[in-house]
Structure 1
Amino acid sequence: MKLSDEQLAVIQAPLGAMAVTACAGSGKTATAIRRLIYIRQLMKSSRGRVALLSFSNVAVDTFNKGFQQLAINLPDGVNLKRVEVDTLDGFFTSHVIRPHAHRTMGANQAAFLVSGSEPFLSGFSYWRDGSFPLPIAEFKVGIADGKTFFYSGTGDNHELLDQAKALELVGRLGRTGAYTHDLGRYWIYKTLSNQPAVLRALATRYPQILVDESQDLGMVHQEILELLIKEGVQVSLIGDANQGIYGFAGADGSFLRSYSTREGVSGFELTRNYRSLPPIIDLANALSGREDKPYREPQPGGLYFLGYKDAELERLFDRFRDCLDELGLQHEQAVILARGADRVAKLSGEVEPPGRGVMTAFTEAALLRDQHARFLDAFKLVSRGVVSLLEDAPSGLASKLLGAPQEEWMLRLRRVLWGFTRDADAGLPSSNLLGESEWHALLLQRIRSLLVHIQRDYGFASVANLGNKLSKRDLRNAPLNAASPVGKQGPEIRVETVHQVKGESIDAVLYVAKKAHIEALLGGTGDEEGRIGYVAVTRARNLFWLAVPNSCLKELRPKLVSAGFGELTNG
């Protein structure tokens, strides 16, 4: 990819804060990496560091690979050790929560993350009059006018909590050293506010911070960055406000939109789309009001809609696969999109993992590992399952194992559980085995052996009623993976929510939508529902199919044709 003049202007700008508004497919990754390196070169012998932060481990891995490739050709005088790439939460966890937050929390140990399933959290529920208690893991944090507040729910369905009661619970949990993901951001903000020496040290060490996908910055992240900005850190934001689809977390792109109007912040734009074919870009421009230019020349593919019935989804998927074959596109580089996890589960033919209680953690882990190669998710389930079988496990042990444990014995135990998770021959049995007669017997045998190992090396005894905990009830005498997902007779095509593929570049997209989703898409990016549709469209490189329910096809056809879609008949 030849860098555009717009990209070069961003990369080679003088040191300073900037707001970079970039269209989908504009090469933000390549631009951000090169800007990171250029900043480090401008800083020369400065002891300060530069950080590039994003929101997912996938993005961080992509940045790191690109950075390592480009760094090979840099002159020896550039100190690349003073460059850090991380997720926002990972960065602030490493530099604020682990070393410093316990003082603000009033804890006598380093802070540790909890998932919400830990038994001891039952003592930290918020009791509401005439309703079920609210687990503290469902607390969310907001900041308005410099004051923090606690609420539950999302969007228009949120509930403001009794602040005194909520604060008492959060403080009491904090004194144990525990925090949830949302409360972790609260403690970061409180720590930087209440320990000015920590804020000064962080600002001195990282005078330059770049934030990618900055339209996803929620209100608490925004306030944390504001503290650093006031302390002198030059923060640069890169993103696309039209892809702000996390409004439930206070992330609607407004922070990015307004940032360029601040004194001392330079505004830039990236308007060349390297990803998509011209018809897809034309639709994206119509939805967003932008005037982005295509880099690619026209070729087979494009933008189409067709009708569907839920009862005939398999036929729809067959047509999509046939079209991929005609265009020479790989099935592995395509995706079927839907709104909501329940809808995705239905389209992919997923079933609930068999078993009851803790057994479901192990069955689901085996399926995730063997069917989807999701080893980290499988490890999380195995860790929680094994810890739940220990009689005297330390508080929060499962969560500490999922993070980055500091104690040597915990690191060793983590390695043991990783080995058990990955090894189908000696650890977690293969999901190809018959659940009731083969898989269960092997699991029980290997779990018993693992627990003996843990008691011998770490001193944690297992529960007395292990057989009851690991009952084979609800396991069938069929392979765990016996359920055949819809439409997978041929090469597999993954099924995801729109939120799950944000940031990806995908050869072909089939969006199986409902009437409300299509109307929101055609309405543009003025609200979050419209932005979700925009994200779905702009993932596609070569082909975008919009599946429209037959019940509203006649009504929506004129609007879709007017927007630039071609129609595929059912003949």
Structure 2
Amino acid sequence: MTAGAFLPTKEQQTIIGHEGHAFVRACPGAGKTRTMVERARHLLSNAADRRGLAFLSFTNAAVEELETRLRNFGILPSPLFPSFVGTFDRFLWQFFIAPFGVDGCNQLPRLVPDKSDWEVKPFDAAHTLKLKHFDRATGTLLADKAAETGFAPKHGPAAWETRARNMIARALSNGHLDFDDVRDSVGKRLADRTSSGRLGAALCGRFREIVIDEAQDCNSTDLEIVEWLRASGINIKVVCDPNQAIYAFRGGLTDELIRFAEKFDEIDQLQMSGNFRSSPAICAAISQLRPPASRGAVDQAVGQYKNETAPVYILAYGGTSVPASIGARFQKISSDLGIPPEQAPVLAATWASAGNAVGRAVPEAGNDKSLLLAEAVMGFHFAFAAGNRREALARLHRAILQVRGEISSAGAYSTHMLNSGLDDGRWRPDVVAIGQALKVLAGESAEDWLKRARALLGSDLVGSPSIGQRLRYNQKLTAVLAEPSPTALPAKAIHAVKGLEFLAVCVVLTVRTTGDILNVLTGAEMATKPVEEARKIYVAASRAERLLAIAAPNSRAPALKAILDAGGHAAQIVSL
């Protein structure tokens, strides 16, 4: 929706003026961000109530988008207090952890977001596991997760479990917490009726309403916290699209969310159904990309592209791997509609598959420090042109520390930052300077770039290996350092674009996953992993405004067409 005059639909107006609690199901493109902005305007127009509002979501990108809208419309004051805009994680940290500390620890709590990636090795030659492979409360091995790494010790996991328990205990005594620890601590605090009652009263005194956006990304503990906030007397607005739940790796839920909705009175269960983003053909397609039980009526196109006539294309490819011909054909189709390359990304469940589809296959770096540094440098320069700068800068910093030997692995980064007192950000100017200095020069070979990197990072090394031993030449460097053409299509992982929108989108289905996804879309398969893979396709397709293409293996293209055609708009198969 645009920033111009806002003429809310009847459903939007109901939500803007709805007092008390609400559970809101919003289809893609329903204008929920603008509706939340107008809800904030409505509430803050009542100067008699001086309490603030809290807007929570689950990704930094979603939070930044909402905060930008609120400020652009002049709704939030500066300073922000007593209101709050941030991720659900930050809300828990600021109001439940930072003021009180953690039971069993006398140290000031410090946030270590990558704690789950700490390496667990009982001895040097041992198979490397990570802390996420162990139960955080007991230190017991999570066998199903560990098995994915090929872990199969002859004498059992006891040595690894002992190491994990020691790491967990030491981290707690030092006050080093990640958000799994935070939720555990919050749960214990809320179970204490005395402390939870006082905390609930304090939060009720500060906030008149809390909006939880993208609530399909809540895990079970999150929902318990939301219910506690509601019981504390704070008005709660839960806004979600259950079909966009693609964070199973952090415990995201769907069935529990639907049951949670039933706790709201019928009058408080609201809908947002009009799609202001996408064309009629795309609206029909994304409706069909939901499982049959949750499909319902096709969302109506009501925005600026409601008269767009472009069909949905199925790009049918041969072979067992994702070919570059996908990107070439999609670029031709989008170019014929006058859509610029930067507004026509190719999306896939993994960045590697998306890169293959546009002819930019980049090898996995593994533990190769030269490749890690090169990837971080290229990501740094791409980010400063296209966003996500904070994450790219941290990734470059981490690679530099690994090259210098100050950390042994990526999982040690946050702990090093805490122990070195670098979490205040004073490292950033030096890392920006290194990133700028290592920009690939016109016509520069991988060997010449590596020589410059060695010269720049060769001092202040920790340990005995020389800079030449750390930054070895790898024949894959040329591919990593290749500068994408200004006319090249962006290649992105689906998780990276959630909440964004583009004029055109191409979604890539791989040979390995397409069968399971189609089974979900026909109702034949409802296992957790295939369902989440199907939801990723739904999320990716719903980013499109004017043009949608879905690349699928030749053998699966007719079945996909049959599913999409049932939405009332015929898809067009293009053989590659």
TM range (shorter): 0.7 to 0.9
Count of aligned pairs between the two proteins? 532
- Alignment of 1:51 with 2:47, yes or no, is no
Residue 181 of structure 1: how far off its partner (Å):
3.9
Contact 2:83-2:207 at 8 Å conserved across structures: no
Pick the aligned partner of 1:285 from 278, 284, 287. 287
**Alignment partners' CA distance in 2, 1:149 and 1:192:** 25
User: Distance in 2 between the 1:420 and 1:278 partners?
Assistant: 50
Find the aligned partners of 1:149 and 1:88 in 2 and give their Cα distance. 28
User: TM-score by structure 2 length?
Assistant: 0.78
Change (3 A) 1:546 1:535: same
Secondary structure of the corresponding residue to residue 274 of structure 1: coil
2:422 counterpart residue number: 410
Amino acid aligned to 2:389:
F
Residue 69 (structure 1) shift: 1.8
Corresponding residue number in structure 1 for 2:547: 543
In the alignment, the residues of structure 2 paired with residue 218 and residue 468 of structure 1 have an alpha-carbon distance, to the nearest angstrom, of 45
Question: Aligned to 1:68, which of 57, 64, 71?
Answer: 71
The equivalent position to 1:511 in structure 2, one of 507, 512, 522, is 507
Go from structure 1 to structure 2 and tell me whether the alpha carbon gap of 1:358 and 1:204 turns closer, same or farther (over 3 Å shift): farther
CA distance in 1, matches of 2:254, 2:239: 11
Distance 1:392 1:501 in 2: 31
Structure 2 counterpart of 1:368, one-letter code: G
Native 8 Å contact 2:373 2:400 kept in 1: no
Match of 1:24 among 24, 28, 35: 28
Superposed, 1:39-438 pairs within 5 Å as: 39-42=43-46, 44-71=47-74, 81-101=81-101, 103-116=102-115, 121-122=118-119, 132=127, 134-139=129-134, 151=142, 170-193=168-191, 195-196=195-196, 197-198=198-199, 200-262=201-263, 266-286=268-288, 287=290, 288-296=295-303, 297-310=306-319, 313-348=323-358, 349-352=360-363, 357-373=368-384, 374-388=388-402, 389=404, 398-399=413-414, 410=422, 414-415=425-426, 417-423=427-433, 427-428=437-438, 430=440, 434=444, 437-438=447-448
Secondary structure, counterpart of 2:315 in structure 1:
strand
Deviates more, 1:28-37 or 1:186-195: 186-195
The answer (yes or no) to whether the contact 2:354–2:508 under 8 Å persists in 1 is no
Distance of 1:156 and 1:293 partners within structure 2: 45
Preserved contact between residue 509 and residue 545 of structure 1 (Cα < 8 Å):
yes
Deviations 1:308-355 (A, max 9, x none): 125783333222111111111121111212233442353352323779
Deviation at 1:390, TM superposition (A): 6.6
**Aligned counterparts of 1:79 and 1:425: Cα–Cα separation in 2:** 33
CA displacement at 1:382 relative to structure 2: 3.5
TM-score by length of 1: 0.79
1:510 is paired with a residue whose SS is strand
Asked if the contact 1:214/1:237 (under 8 Å) is kept, the reply is: yes
Could you say which residue in structure 1 is the equivalent of 2:556?
Answer: 552
CA contact (8 A) 1:366 1:431 kept: no
Q: How big is the shift at 1:63?
A: 0.8
Shift of residue 366, structure 1, vs aligned partner? 0.8
On the 8 A contact 1:140/1:183 being kept in 2, the answer is no
Structure 1 residue 481, shift from structure 2 partner: 4.7
CA shift in 2, pair 1:117/1:245, >3 Å:
closer
Identify which range, 505-514 or 287-296, moves more after superposition: 287-296
Cα distance in 1, alignment partners of residues 283 and 73 from structure 2: 29
AA aligned opposite 1:334: A
Distance 2:276 2:469 in 1: 52
Contact kept, 8 Å, 2:345 with 2:506, in 1: the verdict is yes
CA–CA distance in structure 2, aligned partners of residues 436 and 480 of structure 1: 9
Check the 8 A contact 2:92/2:182 in 1, yes or no.
Answer: no
After TM superposition, list the pairs within 5 Å mapping 1:441-460 onto structure 2: 441-447=451-457, 451=460
- Asked if residue 532 in structure 1 is aligned to residue 536 in structure 2, the reply is yes
Q: Secondary structure at the match of 1:410?
A: coil
- Residues 368, 377 of structure 1: 8 Å contact kept: no
SS of residue matched to 1:542: strand
Give the distance between the partners of 1:273 and 1:241, measured in 2 at CA.
16
Alpha-carbon shift at residue 400 of structure 1 (Å): 6.2
Query: How many Å separate the matches in 2 of 1:381 and 1:331?
Result: 26
Go from structure 1 to structure 2 and tell me whether the alpha carbon gap of 1:49 and 1:477 turns closer, same or farther (over 3 Å shift). closer
Residue equivalent to 1:10: 15
Equivalent pairs: percent with the same residue?
A: 23
Task: Supply the distance in 1 between the matched residues of 2:551 and 2:22 (Cα, whole angstroms).
Answer: 40
SS at match of 1:533: helix
- Over 3 Å counting, the alpha-carbon distance change for 1:251 and 1:471 in structure 2 is closer
